Structure 1
Amino acid sequence: MRQLALGLELSGQRFLWVVRSPSDEGAVSDNYYDAESKEDPFVFLPEGFVERTKDVGFLVSSWAPQIEVLAHEATGGFLTHCGWNSTLESLVHGVPMVAWPLYAEQHQNAVMLAEGIGAAIRVPEPKRKETIAGVVKELMAGEQKGAAVRATVADLQKAALDGLREGGAATTALAEVVEKWAT
């Protein structure tokens, strides 16, 4: 988390970061947080980070309305764990992604998004502040891979919206399932 914070700062890009304390369940949480940080999730951030980024960063503790954030015209990128719901929400709203999978199917989703369809840029290992900053800058303003990802996501958003409209592929398929089940 410290490297992510420093990478966001180093990128020079504006950001909204929802910083959450983990649930009390699971050993993974214990690797990164202690009892003090569960009370205040900002304690693990680098010293002075909040003050240094106050003009470009906005930190939120625990929760933000993700769909509203993704739908906002000022949202230019989304650092995501690559869960399927977040991925679909990002694509429907035309927001390119930085892929940061944590576990389970998220790794496969990240490969598909970054290497398959080109809708994300994956943060390479090791995840250090310089690589994080580079990926964030490339996604937001890059003229090579970032530009290609932004164009791909715009095309995918159009296709998603076409599929969701009345008579589109998604609504038609759902109507067929409902009709089949109703008879």
Structure 2
Amino acid sequence: MTTSRNLRELAVQGLTLAGATAAGSNVYSPRTWATWDGKYPMLLVQTPDEHGESWGREGAPAFTVVTTLRVTARAQAAALADDAAAAAVEEQLETMREQIKAALINYPPIMSLLQQYPSFRSSIHVPRDGQSPIGEMALDIEMEHVQGPDEFFQPPVSPLEGVDVTYQMPDGTTEPGLTIDLPQT
């Protein structure tokens, strides 16, 4: 089943590939944010939004789902004269935006689970005050996939433990018999 969690985990994997982004291995998702070592640049990956639209009233429940993958990049620059540090941070964030899109859009492990990328949008915010500005870029990439009826509640079933078969053998057949062993799972 394709879930938002699967897509997030694959995105982290794609972003941590060697040379994918300037953040290197500083890529974190909700369960690993607390392990951040305080070094910039860094990426935070999450899937805050998911929307599913039913295929209709006929048949079993199935949905076209759009998951929003959010990658938040943060960068910092040392203090420079004439607001040059803020400009340097903004340049880093613009570069990382393109690196993130290049690393994720058409990344084979993700693409194999999707129907399409309906859209993406980004915004950059860099404060123009302070000695060593920390800027942030948020990139939302929408990923469309399907969740079918077999991916939701399934009634419990009893495993097949044996089969009784009776076969009528013609008169005069010696030692009739048949044995079928079912492997245990």
Tell me, yes or no, whether TM beats 0.5.
no
Taking structure 1 as the reference length, what is the TM-score of the superposition?
0.24
Instruction: Specify which structure has the higher proportion of helix.
Output: 1
Which of structures 1 and 2 has the bigger CA Rg? 2
Instruction: Specify which structure has the higher proportion of strand.
Output: 2
